[in-house]
Structure 1
Amino acid sequence: ATDDRGAAVAAMGEAFARFMAGRDDAAGIIGIGGGGGTSIATAGMRVLPVGVPKLMVSTLASGDTSAYVDVSDIAMMPSVTDIAGLNRLSRAVLANAAYAIVGMSRVPPIEAEGKPAIGLTMFGVTTPCVTAVAAALREDYDCLVFHATGTGGRAMEKLADSGLFAGLIDVTTTEICDLLFGGVLSAGPDRLGAAARTRLPYVGSAGALDMVNFRAPETVPERYRDRTFYRHNPQVTLMRTTPGENRAMGEWIGERLNRCDGPVRFLIPELGVSALDAPGQAFYDPQADAALFDALERTFARSAERQLIRLPFHINDPQFSAALVENFREIAA
């Protein structure tokens, strides 16, 4: 026994998660709480499948909820007042929450399409490529496109581990930049891990490996102040990766892909890895790109199942998206 409230809350969250993981009869789930209650309830919600209605009424719902939602589909509703008895405001909020969870739970689950699902990764600067790939495959596959913002990569990895996908087309591996160099959109150190664990057909590329993401300019660490930046919008500042950083990324990616026993095709766009990495654009740097590609060449262990393919195209060229589709169809057949 312990009098440590924090330890008790953590233990209760773990116990509730184990309890909910063993249930297959949940039509929906609703939670009400402050800091401790939100932590406990959402721990159980996160283990339920995507699509099961999940609603958390919380005093923390209008702040940073990433620790509670993570890569699940929990809906967070602000309680407005504290969870301390009923009043005219809490009655209205809780009534709306009750109506919401009942309404969501009454609706029959949407049937999945009969086509197999595949996961794809995209950033704004790789949108033309990924859009073309999805359009070419949509007749045969249910194409689930994930925004490579950290959460997107983690969600794709989690769903791959769950058995949802028939394959992955990981065009935009940019989250690795943020993992290695302190950006704000890292998907964590397990990026590319699901491909190795599941042996799914995997087609990848170097999409947006020319940039590390930060918030507003004043949030950029002091050690990077003399670097090349691009202001994506007032809240997002992009930093161009250097040849040294690109070598480190090439080695990191090569080592991770070498752990894959399933079919792997990694395609290199020699003329640029993003819309900003093109002649006349802010991040055009053939020397930095060459460092990335050469490191991949040195590190990647080719085999009958694993192939590294260099192509004389920009990542957003139609020929490159066509090559991604061709290689995926070949290994997924």
Structure 2
Amino acid sequence: MSEITQPRILLIGTGDTKADELKFMQDCIAKAGGKTIMMDISVLGDPPYRPEHDKHAVAAAAQTTIADIAASGDENSAMSLMATGAVNLARDLAAREAIDGVIAIGGTMGTDLALDVAQALPLGLPKLIVSTVAFSHLIPPDRVAADLMMILWAGGLYGLNGTCTAVLSQACGAIVGAAKSATRPRNARPVVAITSLGKSCLRYMVELKPQLEKRGYEVVVFHTTGMGGRAMESIAAQRGFVAVLDLSLQEVANQLTGSVVNSGADRLENAGKAGIPQIVAPGAIDMVDFPAWLSVPTDLAQRPFHAHNRLLASATSRPVDRRRIAMAVADKLSRAKAPVAFVLPAGGVQQWDRAGEALHDPEGLSAFVDAMRSAIQPPVELHEIKDHINSPAFNETVLRIFDRWVEAGIVPAGQTTVAA
């Protein structure tokens, strides 16, 4: 792929209220070697410049008019309609390869719209949001695109100042640089996703990854500490994998027990909706994660506890919660539109649940295994093994299912030779 010398950057913002900021960003993008394509998402006013895609074009892309949007009821409904138009316009520009990157600025309103735009664009097209609520818990994980960049818009509430221009100039340089150097996914080999944690907790990826690569697949491993699972779900929703080995599910448990360390309510659902075959296992599903810098949640205060580091800690969920989690997992898998196999390691689901380890909880493990046995129903396959998830037997079971599916044509065969 030839190097992009002057990347075309789609710049999104409300030109009626943020004209000075947007013009400053246009200048920064030009100085960095890019070309700006402006999209105005104003509703009531007009910018003091002529954008390439004005508010009337955005409204038309939502199959309505700016007058109807302004009269739609309130600012929330108006910006939701503008978001629909902005998504459709941006998606069309990307499909026609008319843009090389996207940057948007906003407070909560502009960020809300920009998150939709970012999710609609393909993986590998650089996307950056400058937001007054970047990194905030106001943004749920299921709104975050897999490769989204964000920067906090410090001092960005009203007008230009030295603090906010420092941020805006960095952001513009970042998006131009990303657009110049980005390599889009080539997918020379079929792509398989694996979810896991660090090797100290779940070790199967050490064996499974090279084994799948020998079979001719590109393997992408996702770290399931909240946003890793979100990235996997985002790519799965775009049918970016030929198979998903979703073997680490504590993000599901986290979401169901109210932990902030989760990937959204649709975790464990998008591959099934997209018709992607799945091999699933309950890796680390007994843990409830929480920020280590906060007090232990009251309902977990008497449970087995382990601090991973100064950011992340875990306690084991109660047996009653594990039964509820098992039912939820089974329900999600029952709705899949492609084959699903569930591997149930009755000997344990993560390294720290072994005898003598911090999270050893045989009562809870037994409750979960019993609940899972009864919850999984055909056509979902249930493969119970007596061994631990970190055992060779677990890896052998997963590979045996995978190879059978390849032979049956459920999973496309790997590409063992790749053209130069």
- TM exceeding 0.5: yes
Please report how far the alpha carbon of residue 63 of structure 1 lies from its aligned counterpart in structure 2 after TM superposition: 4.8
Give the AA of the match of 1:116. P
- More displaced, 250-259 or 127-136? 250-259
Instruction: Kindly tell me the number of residue pairs found equivalent between the two proteins.
Output: 331
Match of 1:274 in 2: 350
Q: 1:168 to 1:81 in 2, by over 3 A?
A: same
SS at match of 1:171: strand
For 1:70 and 1:248, how far apart are their aligned partners in 2?
Answer: 27
For 1:255 and 1:3, how far apart are their aligned partners in 2?
Answer: 38
- More displaced, 139-148 or 18-27? 18-27
Note the residue ranges of structure 1 that are not aligned, 5 or more in a row: none
For 1:247 and 1:64, how far apart are their aligned partners in 2?
Answer: 28
Does 2:326 match 1:253?
Answer: no
Please report how far the alpha carbon of residue 192 of structure 1 lies from its aligned counterpart in structure 2 after TM superposition: 2.5
Equivalent of residue 309 in structure 1, options 367, 373, 383: 383
Q: 1:185 to 1:332 in 2, by over 3 A?
A: farther
Q: 1:180 to 1:14 in 2, by over 3 A?
A: same
Match of 1:20 in 2: 90
Please report how far the alpha carbon of residue 44 of structure 1 lies from its aligned counterpart in structure 2 after TM superposition: 1.9
**In the alignment, is the contact (CA less than 8 A) between 1:128 and 1:316 conserved in 2?**
yes
**In the alignment, is the contact (CA less than 8 A) between 2:147 and 2:231 conserved in 1?**
no
Please report how far the alpha carbon of residue 257 of structure 1 lies from its aligned counterpart in structure 2 after TM superposition: 2.4
Match of 2:48 in 1: none
For 2:268 and 2:136, how far apart are their aligned partners in 1?
Answer: 30
SS at match of 1:133: helix
Superimposed CA distance per residue, residues 259-297 of structure 1 (whole angstroms, 9 cap, x where no aligned partner): 335322211112110011111111222332122112121
Please report how far the alpha carbon of residue 2 of structure 1 lies from its aligned counterpart in structure 2 after TM superposition: 5.9
**In the alignment, is the contact (CA less than 8 A) between 2:146 and 2:232 conserved in 1?**
no
SS at match of 1:233: coil
**In the alignment, is the contact (CA less than 8 A) between 1:276 and 1:282 conserved in 2?**
yes
Does 2:209 match 1:134?
Answer: yes
Give the AA of the match of 1:190. D
Structure 1 length normalisation: TM-score? Answer: 0.87
Give the AA of the match of 1:16. A
Give the AA of the match of 2:372. L
Match of 2:103 in 1: 30
For 2:169 and 2:388, how far apart are their aligned partners in 1?
Answer: 54
Structure 2 length normalisation: TM-score? Answer: 0.71
Superimposed CA distance per residue, residues 1-57 of structure 1 (whole angstroms, 9 cap, x where no aligned partner): 168444433433333223223332321112233443333334322311111111223
Please report how far the alpha carbon of residue 137 of structure 1 lies from its aligned counterpart in structure 2 after TM superposition: 0.9
- More displaced, 178-187 or 137-146? 178-187
For 2:323 and 2:91, how far apart are their aligned partners in 1?
Answer: 42
Give the AA of the match of 2:146. S
**In the alignment, is the contact (CA less than 8 A) between 1:126 and 1:172 conserved in 2?**
no
- More displaced, 322-331 or 200-209? 322-331
Superimposed CA distance per residue, residues 229-259 of structure 1 (whole angstroms, 9 cap, x where no aligned partner): 2222233231112322222222222233233
Superimposed CA distance per residue, residues 85-136 of structure 1 (whole angstroms, 9 cap, x where no aligned partner): 4455555544443333333223463451411001111123543112221121
Match of 1:174 in 2: 250
List aligned pairs for 1:158-307, cutoff 5 A. Answer: 158-216=234-292, 218-303=294-379, 306-307=380-381
SS at match of 2:285: coil
SS at match of 1:301: coil
Q: 1:300 to 1:21 in 2, by over 3 A?
A: same
Equivalent of residue 131 in structure 2, options 50, 54, 58: 58
- More displaced, 189-198 or 273-282? 189-198
Give the AA of the match of 1:317. S
**In the alignment, is the contact (CA less than 8 A) between 1:172 and 1:206 conserved in 2?**
yes
Question: Which protein has the larger Cα radius of gyration, Structure 1 or Structure 2?
Answer: 2
SS at match of 1:22: helix
For 1:88 and 1:247, how far apart are their aligned partners in 2?
Answer: 55
Match of 2:393 in 1: 319
Match of 1:47 in 2: 120
For 1:138 and 1:296, how far apart are their aligned partners in 2?
Answer: 31
**In the alignment, is the contact (CA less than 8 A) between 1:59 and 1:83 conserved in 2?**
yes
**In the alignment, is the contact (CA less than 8 A) between 2:126 and 2:182 conserved in 1?**
no
Match of 1:119 in 2: 193
SS at match of 2:175: helix
Please report how far the alpha carbon of residue 212 of structure 1 lies from its aligned counterpart in structure 2 after TM superposition: 0.7
SS at match of 2:351: coil
- More displaced, 252-261 or 206-215? 252-261
Quote the sequence identity (%): 31
Q: 1:232 to 1:81 in 2, by over 3 A?
A: same
Q: Runs of 4 or more off by more than 6 Å in structure 1?
A: none
Q: 1:190 to 1:99 in 2, by over 3 A?
A: closer
Give the AA of the match of 2:156. D
Does 2:42 match 1:11?
Answer: no
Give the AA of the match of 2:84. E
For 2:172 and 2:293, how far apart are their aligned partners in 1?
Answer: 42
**In the alignment, is the contact (CA less than 8 A) between 1:201 and 1:328 conserved in 2?**
no
Q: 1:10 to 1:286 in 2, by over 3 A?
A: same
Give the alignment's Cα RMSD to 1 decimal: 2.7
For 1:87 and 1:93, how far apart are their aligned partners in 2?
Answer: 10
For 2:361 and 2:272, how far apart are their aligned partners in 1?
Answer: 31
Q: 1:64 to 1:278 in 2, by over 3 A?
A: same
For 2:349 and 2:196, how far apart are their aligned partners in 1?
Answer: 12
